[in-house]
Structure 1
Amino acid sequence: MQFLNSMRNIGVVLAFFLTSLPIFSQEITVLDSETGTPVVNIAVYNRDKSKTIVSDFDGKCDLSIFSRNERITFRHISYEVYTSTKALIARKGNRVYLNLRPEELQEVVMSVSKWEQQKKNIPQKIESIDARSIAFSNPQTAADLLQNSGKVFVQKSQLGGGSPLIRGFATNRLLLSVDGVRMNNAIFRGGNIQNVISLDPFTIKNTEVIFGPGSVIYGSDAIGGVMNFFTQKPRFSFTDSLTISGNVNYRFASANNENTAHLDLNLGQQHWASYTSFTYNNFGDLVMGSHGPDSYLRNNFVVRRNGVDVLVDNDDPQKQVPSGYDQINLLQKFVYRPNSTWNYDFGLYYSETSDYSRYDRLIRPDDSGEGLRSAEWFYGPQKWFMGKLQITKKGKNKFYDGVKLTTAYQRFQESRNNRDFQDLIRNTTQEKVDALSLNLDFENKKIGNLRLYYGAEYLFNKVRSEGSWLNIATNEVNAAPSRYPDGSTWQTFAGYINGEYQLNPNFSLLSGLRYSQVWVDAQFDNTFFQFPFEEADLITGALTGSIGFSWFPKADLQITMNGSTGFRAPNIDDIGKVFDSEPGSVVVPNPDLEPEYAYNVELGVRKNFHDKVVLKGATFYTYLVDALVRRDFTFNGEREIVYNGELSNVQAIQNAAKAYVYGFELGMDAFFTDNWSLSTNLTLTEGTEEDDNGEDSAARHVAPTFADVHLIWQNDRLKADFFLNYNGEISFDDLALSERNKPFIYASDANGNPFSPSWYTLNFRSQYEISNALKGTLSIENITDQRYRSYSSGIVAPGTNLILGLGYNF
């Protein structure tokens, strides 16, 4: 009996202890979500601010004054506002993780030296797009992510596309980088490319866009700018136990009946972490707007009935048939950090699309002008795989304070498939590129106020290319000319040094040099064409440099100036391509090419008026010499040859032009109250190409004047943005010669000549925090249902587009 009484008493004590546990465990810790370090002086309060406390030096605070389900707000000048309840915080181990505010994140950039630098010390113009801005704009693709920023113009030949234009340059004169690894490969072409859509916007943590040459750090191709995408990093646990977190997202868009699903999962321990992401996109045919040029309508399209191509009327001429496609994106990252000195980062990236039509080729009229030239023109699945290993060591050393070794393997795969109307032969070319890269980068901060960044790079690309044709009636398959010399290689080795010198707290000087050696080897097959040469064996070198300063004559005024050079070495696409470039013309190989060089100067000004209004301006001028351009050529002494059964004018890439590009970039941010703000951007660019005969013509990749104005309202839970997008006109006289040859994608002026009309759209975006874990987005794009086509684009932009999104984090 005494034993039973003792057990009863113990039970009472345990019950009291368990029921009292929440009272004794109401101390929480507030931590930085990136570093895991405590955040000091966090203001914590309830809805009416009748209860207020502040976190101590260790980031700790006692929530006992708050009730279990009372809504609590955490606020700090440098961090995003966070709201929760004691009950939810307890479920997460009594820890609160805060994210830096976007403006704080933008103070540090990685792209200029591959190491963290203060943005205020950089003389070049850099724009950062953080994950919160990306989530708010809710882009369908990474190309849309860039376009939504208002700083980059994007051209689209088809829905599954997006070719950025920066300061009058595009495609192979811009460099794409993901997590520090170069995406540009040996077959990046001068025509519009869509490789950027291989990146999943859901996984992008930050995007940094460098305007102007970046060849000192990135080598060949970085003439007009660099777009560096940084994906999400696995997050460590700052406790002794495993932490599990993640996100689930869904998005719907009405203009192309989009359905997108995304899931990511983070596992974290103190020394290792894993991040897994999966995204599936299903895009239907895109519907254009109701108000605009009738020539943009899709009045008819080709179908195959009973073994015959038939031109049929489109029941809905605003629907662009066919333009839809599917895409999947996978990302797996592992990070191991045994101590504060070493860090091992391993990542696997994969993206694959379905077949998708090249819409601008499907709307080309035939010679009669009554029908369509192509029955089929589509890209095969675009596949991209990358495996990356990066090892970072930090700590004092005789030669460096930090060293970073990055190795990567990439596989690119694409194909082109086309068949003329009433033709039984479908022509196909398939390309695969294996790309190896090795980067060794050092940081040294030892020499007083001088910080040095230096390193070396080796790249190797091998191109596999095959051609074939298929008789769709008999299924007979035969070999055909390949697009590139099969087995050709492109490789480069380079070394660079970059320095940042702080003369005083208000004046910093940056300068750098790089030397690159490039080797190209291509063996030509004479099976289908009798080339007047057997191989292309090029060895070229380039020395590039930059120098600039950032000066604060006053605390609220910044002046920057920068001079730099950039280059692009000929690649396999320049030297060895055989391709139907446009109706009636064919591009043939030219092994006698040299690098093109750019010389750039820019001036920037930033003025802050009492933290209420910030004005930003930049002007630039770029001179391109020995420009690699497509011009008339001869092949075995002939100016015309038969290609795919058609007598075609012979052209080739040649060092045959100079180019002048200049412009202005203006912006303003105004903060009226804690809730209301205004943001505007305006970009004006002009450019001219001059050939060897001294004849001028408009530069093809100079975008029209474009601008946006955003009126934003936000509080702790709701953000709303009403904005206008504007694009100026490009008249026939200002249209590049190559664009004049594509009248079917343009409107007609009063004289019947093609031109690109001006256009505007009114738009609305909003994001609402339903709970701490659940967020919803609602956007309406092109509210007035304008029918417009962006400059040089084949696909017509969406009409009124309702976008709904739902995101849950756990």
Structure 2
Amino acid sequence: MNKVLFLLIFLCTQVVFSQEVTVLDFDTREPISNVAIYNYDRTKTALTDFDGKVDLKVFGVDERITFRHLSYQLGRTTKAQIQRHGDRFFLSMKAEELDEVVMSVSKWEQQKKDIPNKIAVINARDIAFTNPQTSADLLQSSGKVFVQKSQLGGGSPMIRGFATNRLLLSVDGVRMNNAIFRGGNLQNVISIDPYTIQNTEVIFGPGSVIYGSDAIGGVMNFYTKKAEFSTSDSLSFSGGAKYRFASANSENTFHFDFNLGKRKWAFLTSASYNDFGDLKMGAHGPESYLRKNFVGSLNGTDVLLPNENPKKQTPTGYSQLNLMQKIAYTPNNTWEHKLGLHYSETSDYARYDRLIRPNKAGDGLRSAEWFYGPQKWFMGNLQMSKRGKGIFYDGLKITTAYQHFEESRNDRDFGDLLRYTTEEKVDALSANVDFENKKIGDLRLYYGGEYIFNKVGSTGEQVNIETKELVEGASRYPDGATWQTLAGYVNGEYRAKPNFTLLSGLRYSHVWINAVFDKTFYPFPFDDAMLDNGALTGSIGFSWFPKADLQITLNGSTGFRAPNLDDVGKIFDSEPGAVVVPNPDLEPEYAYNVELGVQKNFNDRVVLKSAAFYTYLVDALVRRDYKFNGEDAIMYNGELSSVQAIQNAAKAYVYGLEFGAEVFFGDKLSAVANLTLTEGIEEEDDGTESPGRHVAPTFGDLHFIYKGQKLTADLFLNYNGEISYGDLATSERSKTYIYAVDEEGNPFSPSWYTLNLRAQYAITNALKTSLGVENITDQRYRSYSSGIVAPGVSLVLGVDYRF
């Protein structure tokens, strides 16, 4: 009887512990293939498959087993412990492991080591640990991208001396730049929810061969999380929730997501809500940065009120909602269909730099109100991809997308009863067909085509805040204007030798603008703008490993930006006493770029990286003095204003050096440093020169990182250099209200540093907590060209639960 009972228990035990086990990345929750599993004396072994699954039936229930992978820290456990954790085992990546696969250069997976362009990759692991407030802060946390902020609800990246509409944003391979992306600072990047990002790839330098117009200074490609299929016949369910608090602006952020998966269907739902209060600046820095007073209302009249807490920047707070829905369907092993729906909406938010402008007399503030209406963005993205042996391809992607953008501007001068409002809506349709061909020996070809259509709606109005009387006003853009482009490209990757890869590509783009001007409010000397421009761009470069531990890259490329509707048809106040008017006689601007990169690995303990670049921009689209119907000044919103317009009136030279270092003291402790130096000059047609407006100061960071099984910690220093008055762009010198004053009474941007600490602790495999202290020494500083003062000392708390 005892033998029978023992046999039954033994058989039941084997049944219980013979089920498959899945090995997953601790941070990303993605399966890990090729994990070697063995016992103490290595007499029993197993290996995970492509889906990270393995059967552990050869091991005993309480036998100590080891999980080993070259890229991950060693893991040890027993089958019994694994079962208690839902048949899943997690491994943490080693500190020195680098990402090797990128997609942004060709829209297909390529080895990063084969790419001659400099690319920064911010993966899910980095994002989860950094825990950024917005996607703009995510870019800034990389240490390689400079971010300007005019207000709390913003973030305008600068890369290699270029910004705004000379940089390209894309989400899941879909271009986000639209017909009204402006040359002034842009806030569109904050529409992307950082909690939905799987990884971000930043291309430095022109990316026009793949992305067309606007990709002059670089490309920022955000790839969001995918809906995950079940690996069994049963329904899989997973998800998580996050919370974040920051004391500097009383932030409260809530996020949740969940995934339902079958073998052929998968659904991912995500929602985030942010509530930000007014931002508090630091205690140590220029007194001129303090917010000593602000505009309030007393019995319906504008009054200047003292600020009880001058370090509190009133008003700067806002709220934001982000929603995402992903649906995936795979009918067979060849085809996959993916639908992505994204929606983002902010509340009204103040443009802080406009609210601190002094009036002409210098004894008060110019504006009583200046705020953006809700910034809204919707994208529906349908992608069909095929893997297999087609006649002309091995991979096919068909991507169609519809996007809708809404934004508005609202301003009222101090003591004025009239509030001026302009509202813009853009409908954007796009279609892309991309092919991958690996049939020609060592040559891989990537080729495809693109069509984009934008239609702009623009209205204006004036409202009397006392009587509520509403009248029609001038719009910012020609209402009903369209912008469209048609393009084709081919890009080739040729592995001439195992240690030498050559990349080259060509693209032809054609761009059309059709705008009809309304003369109700302004007597334009033209009726319409009909632009018809074509551009041929190309790139060629190589990646060479003369030694296994030494990489040299060289890349030459051209980029272009065709005038968009913001260049051709905009009318707005650029600064006090100046107004920008339309100019239909514009041509594309072209950039010519060369980049040399060197990377040296010293025994996998020290990795040094450097890149030198030079970019020459011709026919640059810049804002310059202009005549409107022969007049150099016109009345705008009740004020006589000098006339300016966007013109092909300059050349620009931008050059610089970028350095990076990684030092690994062991499996757990490492150091990472970045330093960027950029110089830029704009040259007028008459030969006069001035510093470039979007050339960031010298900036860098230094991190000391500890990564253990449960605790990850990062002590780091951020640094920005000074921009003296002599090196300040001409257009910036008039903005005395956002800069400090030097000994001669001239505005300049001082240098600054912050000391910061962040840590994350895994209480269990499912529950993580994070703690951060930003700007520990409570510095008061403004990043170059920013209107808002950066946060003072801030306590950041976070909780992340995954199931």
Is TM-score (shorter-chain normalized) higher than 0.5? yes
The residue that corresponds to 1:382 in the other structure is 375
Q: What is residue 754 of structure 1 aligned with on the other side?
A: 747
Aligned partner (choices 492, 498, 503) of residue 505 of structure 1? 498
Partner of 2:46: 55
1:236 corresponding residue in structure 2: 229
How far apart, CA to CA, are the structure 1 residues paired with 2:505 and 2:627? 41
What does residue range 523-534 of structure 1 map to in structure 2 within 5 Å? Answer: 523-534=516-527
Structure 1 residue 574, shift from structure 2 partner: 0.2
Corresponding residue SS for 2:56 = strand
Matching residue of 2:16: 25
Counterpart of 2:228 in 1: which secondary structure? Answer: coil
**Residue number in structure 1 paired with 2:317:** 324
Structure 1 position 261 matched with structure 2 position 257 = no
Change (3 A) 1:347 1:770: same
1:34-66 CA-partner distances (Å, limit 9, x unpaired) = 998773443478xxx899975346633249656
CA contact (8 A) 1:30 1:98 kept: no
Matches within 5 A, 1:261-340: 261-340=254-333
Matches within 5 A, 1:7-406: 21-27=12-18, 28-31=20-23, 39-43=33-37, 54-56=45-47, 59-62=54-57, 65=60, 74-79=67-72, 89-90=82-83, 94-96=87-89, 106-406=99-399
1:673: Cα distance to partner? 1.5
CA deviation profile, 1:350-399 (whole Å, cap 9, x unmatched): 00000000000000011111110011100000000000000001111221
Secondary structure in 2 matching 1:573: helix
Contact 1:41 1:54 in 2 (8 A): no
Separation of aligned partners in 1, 2:585 and 2:13: 78
The answer as to whether partners of 1:63 and 1:86 remain within 8 angstroms in 2 is no
Quickly say closer, same or farther: Cα 1:324–1:15, change in 2 above 3 A: farther
Residue deviations 1:661-690 (CA, integer Å, cap 9, x gap):
000000100011222111100000000000
User: Which amino acid is the alignment partner of residue 680 of structure 1?
Assistant: A
TM-score (norm 1): 0.95
Output the CA distance in 2 between the equivalents of 1:804 and 1:551: 44
Q: Distance in 2 between matches of 1:331 and 1:675?
A: 36
For 2:377 and 2:492, the matched residues in 1 are separated by: 35
Amino acid at match of 1:362: L
> Hey, what does 2:461 align to over in structure 1?
468
| Cα distance in structure 1, aligned partners of 2:647 and 2:30 | 55
Name 1:690's counterpart in structure 2: 683
Residue 236 of structure 1 and its aligned partner are, at CA, apart by 1.2
1:254 CA drift (Å): 0.5
Aligned counterpart, 1:722: 715
Counterpart of 1:4 in structure 2 is: none
In the alignment, the residues of structure 2 paired with residue 797 and residue 699 of structure 1 have an alpha-carbon distance, to the nearest angstrom, of 23
Aligned position for 2:630: 637
Contact kept in structure 2, 1:662 and 1:686, CA below 8 Å: yes
Q: Is structure 2 residue 592 aligned with structure 1 residue 599?
A: yes
Deviation at 1:134, TM superposition (A): 0.7
Q: Superposed, which structure 2 residues align to 1:627-666 within 5 Å? A: 627-666=620-659
2:55 maps to a residue whose letter is: K
Q: CA 1:657–1:85 in 2, change beyond 3 Å: closer, same or farther?
A: farther
Q: Partners in 2 of 1:340 and 1:37 — Cα distance? A: 19
1:105: Cα distance to partner? Answer: 6.8
Q: Is the 8 A contact 2:624 2:647 kept in 1?
A: yes
CA drift at 1:88:
7.0
Aligned residues of 2:38 and 2:66 also touching (Cα < 8 A): yes
* Distance in 1, Cα, partners of 2:97 & 2:403: 33
Q: Does the 8 Å CA contact 1:26/1:63 hold for their aligned counterparts?
A: no
Q: Unpaired segments of 5 or more residues in structure 2?
A: none
Residue 422 of structure 1: aligned partner: 415
Give the match's secondary structure for 1:339. Answer: coil
**Inter-CA distance 112–303: structure 2 relative to 1 (3 Å threshold):** same
Could you say if the C-alpha distance between residues 38 and 375 of structure 1 is closer, same or farther in structure 2, counting changes exceeding 3 Å?
closer
CA distance in structure 1 between the partners assigned to 2:160 and 2:183 by the alignment: 15
Q: Which moved more, 1:390-399 or 1:479-488?
A: 390-399
Matches within 5 A, 1:544-623: 544-623=537-616
Residue 21 of structure 1: how far off its partner (Å): 3.7
* Aligned-partner SS, 1:55: strand
The one-character-per-residue Cα deviations of 1:523-570 (angstroms, maximum 9, x if unpaired) are 000000010000000100000000000000000000000000000000
Q: Provide the C-alpha distance between the structure 1 equivalents of 2:795 and 2:42, rounded to a whole number of angstroms.
A: 41
Secondary structure at 1:530 match in 2: coil
Question: 1:418 Cα deviation (Å)?
Answer: 0.5
CA contact (8 A) 1:426 1:470 kept: yes
Structure-2 separation of matches of 1:553 and 1:713: 33
* Structure 2 CA distance for aligned equivalents of residues 304 and 63 of structure 1: 78
The CA deviation at 1:32 is 6.1
- Per the alignment, residue 473 of structure 2 pairs with 480
Using the alignment, how far apart are the partners of 1:99 and 1:730 within structure 2? 42
AA matched with 1:120 = K
CA distance in 2, matches of 1:37, 1:730: 48
**1:209 and 1:227 in contact (8 A); partners too:** yes
CA distance in 2, matches of 1:232, 1:102: 23
Equivalent position amino acid for 2:178 in 1: N
Question: Which digits, 9 at most, give the CA deviation of each residue in 1:235-257, with x for residues without a partner?
Answer: 11111101100011000000000
CA distance in 2 between partners of 1:466 and 1:360 (Å): 24
Measured in 1, the distance between the counterparts of 2:9 and 2:400 equals 53
SS in 2 for 1:527: coil
Asked if the contact 2:448–2:489 (Cα under 8 Å) also holds between the matched residues in 1, the reply is yes
Q: Supply the AA of the counterpart residue of 1:394.
A: R
Report the Cα distance in structure 2 between the residues aligned to 1:38 and 1:724, rounded to whole angstroms. 34
Q: Distance in 1 between matches of 2:699 and 2:768?
A: 31
What do you get for the CA RMSD once the two structures are aligned?
Answer: 2.3
Tell me the CA shift for residue 444 of structure 1. Answer: 0.4
**C-alpha distance 242-81 of structure 1, shift in aligned 2 (>3 A):** farther
Aligned length: 795
Measure how far apart 1:78 and its partner are.
Answer: 2.7
State TM-score, norm by structure 2.
Answer: 0.96
Q: Percent identity?
A: 68
How far does residue 339 in structure 1 lie from its aligned partner after superposition? Answer: 1.6
The equivalent position to 1:452 in structure 2, one of 422, 445, 451, is 445
Over 3 Å counting, the alpha-carbon distance change for 1:379 and 1:83 in structure 2 is: farther
CA distance in structure 1 between the partners assigned to 2:624 and 2:335 by the alignment: 52
Whole-angstrom CA distance in 2 between matches of 1:161 and 1:605? 34
Cα distance in structure 1, aligned partners of 2:254 and 2:147 = 25
How much has 1:13 moved relative to structure 2? 9.6
Partner SS for 2:518:
coil
Q: 1:778 to 1:108 in 2, by over 3 A?
A: same
Please report how far the alpha carbon of residue 90 of structure 1 lies from its aligned counterpart in structure 2 after TM superposition.
3.2
SS at match of 1:752: coil
CA–CA distance in structure 1, aligned partners of residues 86 and 722 of structure 2: 58
Asked if the contact 2:95–2:669 (Cα under 8 Å) also holds between the matched residues in 1, the reply is no
Contact kept, 8 Å, 2:579 with 2:644, in 1: the verdict is yes
For the 8 Å contact 2:96–2:664, the answer to whether it is kept is no
